[in-house]
Chain A
Amino acid sequence: MDFAFSLLRQMRDSLRDLAPVVLVIGFFQLVVIRQPLPDSVQLFDLVSGLFFVVLGLTLFIKGLQLGLFPVGENLAQAFARKGSVFWLLVFAFALGFGSTVAEPALIAVAGKAAEAVAEGGLIAATETAQNQFAFNLRMVVAASVGTAVVVGVWRILTGWPLHLMIIAGYVIVLLLTLIAPQEIIGIAYDSGGVTTSTITVPLVTALGVGLATAIKGRNPMLDGFGLIAFASVMPIIFVLAYSLIMI
């Protein structure tokens, strides 16, 4: 019974996320655009699709809370206390990588990026080539978040100043932007924004807070955040570097 209630509550949250989007689009359709829907877009598909979005997001987040988060948080705390720097860094990378690979927003943007890159003629316009590009992009972004968490954990261990490292990251982004192919820049910058959402943030924050609590002289609030900040700069660097190597 409790479970059914919590599922319903989660569904209400997903609906609340969706409501502003539907209201704004509905307002513009009825008041500003005032045109019938084109034949390619069926109202039934839209409504049932929105239902799938809410249902999917509800199950997804609830499933994370039941399965992944408790185990992941336990592991993060166990590794934070274990005292082995090597295993801690290996785990940090795996956590960042694994939690980014299945990120819904990243899957969505990688698919769109592959279409655009194929239209732009950088890769063959076949479905295989597009799927391959989308897969590679997701792997590169996931590896970059893994690396970001490693760097962030290393920073917590050593106590290096955060803002200097972020500024260094920005400088690397700008230098790479100068030499990277123009076509990839937009995709690279956007990939920094899609990584920090549903799965990554709770798991990575658990690791940061666990570590900061276990080490004397570290502030949980400041250090948990540092990991997220790296996780939004590192993907830009990795995707730009990847484009330099591959294209």
Chain B
Amino acid sequence: MSFFVILLDTLLDILPIAAIIFGFQYLVIRKPIRHLPQVLAGFVMVLFGLAFFLQGLEQALFPMGELMALQLTSDQVLPQLASDLQRHWTDYYWVYIFAFTIGASTTIAEPSLIAVSIKAGEISGGTIDPLMLRIAVALGMAFGITLGTWRIVMGYPLHWFVLGAYILVIIQTLRSPKNIIPLAFDSGGVTTSTITVPIIAALGLGMATSIPGRSPIMDGFGMIALACLFPIITVMGYAQIAAWLEKRNGAPSPKTP
């Protein structure tokens, strides 16, 4: 697709939000917008930025994700196979290692996560260590993606995994320290940045295409869902452990005689 077409499509994409903002501002609130030229310049930058991003997405991010899926599941990378043997799920170990590294590395350095974890450390009054919190989120994200690739290899239904994760989340929500819950739910959202989502989506679809017996539509999706759910679990788990450790190391609770 030529860049001009992308630019036109992008214009249609951002029209609704422009209409909403200006409509409410002038029709309901009825006040002029401050710094109007700056705001308009901002919209033009959003337009061009989105168009460039979508162009780069088609050109680099999607092909890279698909290429990795294709190569990591090709016979050159998988271990040698004796004739008439079925592949075992452990043969795909490079896929799991790749998924785990991508998940952990994109999350641990995420700027919004760093900001959130420092704030959480302040709110908790020292019970929560910002670095440990970041590690908990990164591990949750990495585990979620790795589990997602394993699910594609095995071909198990996605809703088993989501159901299991939901049950864990609900149990933990009822048992965790109350001030960590908002943070835990937020951390599920910060892990999926605009750059990681396309790579993960292409990886899942590529794997489902190249692994025998899997179909893109039944098996290719679901990694983003798992990548968002597991950080919630690990963050609440970390908070529970931190609270338990503090109770054990601190003064004996007043209830015990």
Contact B17 A52 (CB under 8 A): no
Contact B25 A52 (CB under 8 A): no
CB B70 to nearest CB in A, in angstroms, measures 8
With both beta carbons as reference points, the residue of chain A lying nearest to B208 in the complex is identified as A116
CB B62 to nearest CB in A, in angstroms, measures 8
Contact A187 B221 (CB under 8 A): yes
The complex places the Cα of A198 from the Cα of B71 at a distance, in Å, of 31
How many interface residues does chain A have, given as a range? 35 or more
With both beta carbons as reference points, the residue of chain B lying nearest to A197 in the complex is identified as B194
Contact B61 A53 (CB under 8 A): yes
Contact B60 A98 (CB under 8 A): no
With both beta carbons as reference points, the residue of chain A lying nearest to B196 in the complex is identified as A21
Q: Does A215 contact B (CB under 8 A)?
A: no
Contacts of A109 in B (CB 8 A): 197-198, 201, 224
CB B114 to nearest CB in A, in angstroms, measures 11
The complex places the Cα of A95 from the Cα of B106 at a distance, in Å, of 29
Contacts of B44 in A (CB 8 A): 63
The complex places the Cα of A18 from the Cα of B61 at a distance, in Å, of 10
Q: Does A170 contact B (CB under 8 A)?
A: yes
B residues 52-108 near A (Cβ < 8 Å) are 52-64, 67-68, 71-72, 76-77, 94, 98, 101-102, 105-106
Contact B170 A170 (CB under 8 A): yes
The complex places the Cα of A198 from the Cα of B109 at a distance, in Å, of 17
The complex places the Cα of A183 from the Cα of B51 at a distance, in Å, of 30
Please tell me which one of the listed residues A66, A87, A104 contacts residue B194 in the complex, with CB atoms under 8 A apart: A104
Contact B217 A186 (CB under 8 A): yes
The complex places the Cα of A98 from the Cα of B188 at a distance, in Å, of 22
With both beta carbons as reference points, the residue of chain A lying nearest to B35 in the complex is identified as A70
Contact A196 B189 (CB under 8 A): yes
Contact A21 B197 (CB under 8 A): no
Contact A75 B59 (CB under 8 A): no
The complex places the Cα of A112 from the Cα of B65 at a distance, in Å, of 12
Q: Does B130 contact A (CB under 8 A)?
A: no
The complex places the Cα of A68 from the Cα of B41 at a distance, in Å, of 10
Q: Does A189 contact B (CB under 8 A)?
A: yes
The complex places the Cα of A190 from the Cα of B123 at a distance, in Å, of 31
Q: Does A107 contact B (CB under 8 A)?
A: yes
Please tell me which one of the listed residues A16, A116, A187 contacts residue B111 in the complex, with CB atoms under 8 A apart: A16
Contacts of A225 in B (CB 8 A): 182-183, 185-186
Contact B45 A101 (CB under 8 A): no
Contact A112 B201 (CB under 8 A): yes
B residues 211-227 near A (Cβ < 8 Å) are 215-225, 227
The complex places the Cα of A104 from the Cα of B170 at a distance, in Å, of 31
Q: Looking at chain A's contact residues, is the secondary structure mostly helix, strand, loop, or mixed?
A: helix
The complex places the Cα of A185 from the Cα of B51 at a distance, in Å, of 30
User: When A13-B111, A119-B217, A232-B188 are in contact, do A58 and B49 touch as well, CB less than 8 Å?
Assistant: yes
Contact B57 A53 (CB under 8 A): yes
With both beta carbons as reference points, the residue of chain A lying nearest to B191 in the complex is identified as A193
Contacts of A94 in B (CB 8 A): 20, 24
Please tell me which one of the listed residues A17, A98, A192 contacts residue B225 in the complex, with CB atoms under 8 A apart: A192
With both beta carbons as reference points, the residue of chain B lying nearest to A103 in the complex is identified as B194
Q: Does B159 contact A (CB under 8 A)?
A: yes
CB A41 to nearest CB in B, in angstroms, measures 5
Contact B170 A32 (CB under 8 A): no
Contact A59 B181 (CB under 8 A): no
Contact A28 B68 (CB under 8 A): yes
Contact B56 A53 (CB under 8 A): yes
Q: Does A24 contact B (CB under 8 A)?
A: yes
A/B interface sample: 27 pairs, CB < 8 A:
A16-B111, A25-B64, A28-B68, A45-B60, A46-B59, A46-B63, A49-B60, A62-B42, A62-B45, A64-B42, A68-B17, A68-B46, A91-B28, A101-B13, A102-B46, A104-B57, A108-B198, A120-B217, A163-B174, A170-B166, A174-B163, A190-B221, A193-B225, A221-B182, A225-B186, A226-B182, A232-B228
Q: Taking beta carbons and an 8 Å cutoff, which residues of A are in contact with B? A: 13, 16-21, 23-25, 28, 32-33, 35, 37-38, 40-41, 45-68, 70-72, 74-75, 78-79, 87, 91, 94-95, 97-99, 101-102, 104-105, 107-109, 112-113, 115-117, 119-120, 122, 163, 166-167, 170, 173-174, 177, 182-183, 185-187, 189-190, 192-194, 196-199, 201, 221-222, 224-226, 228-229, 232
18 more CB-based (< 8 A) A-B contacts, given A67-B38, A113-B221: A20-B105, A21-B105, A33-B72, A40-B63, A48-B60, A49-B55, A53-B57, A58-B49, A59-B46, A63-B48, A66-B42, A67-B40, A102-B46, A104-B57, A120-B218, A163-B173, A182-B157, A193-B228
- Across the A-B interface, give the 9 residue pairs with the lowest CB-CB distance, nearest first: A67-B42, A49-B60, A186-B221, A63-B45, A49-B59, A60-B49, A56-B53, A59-B49, A56-B52
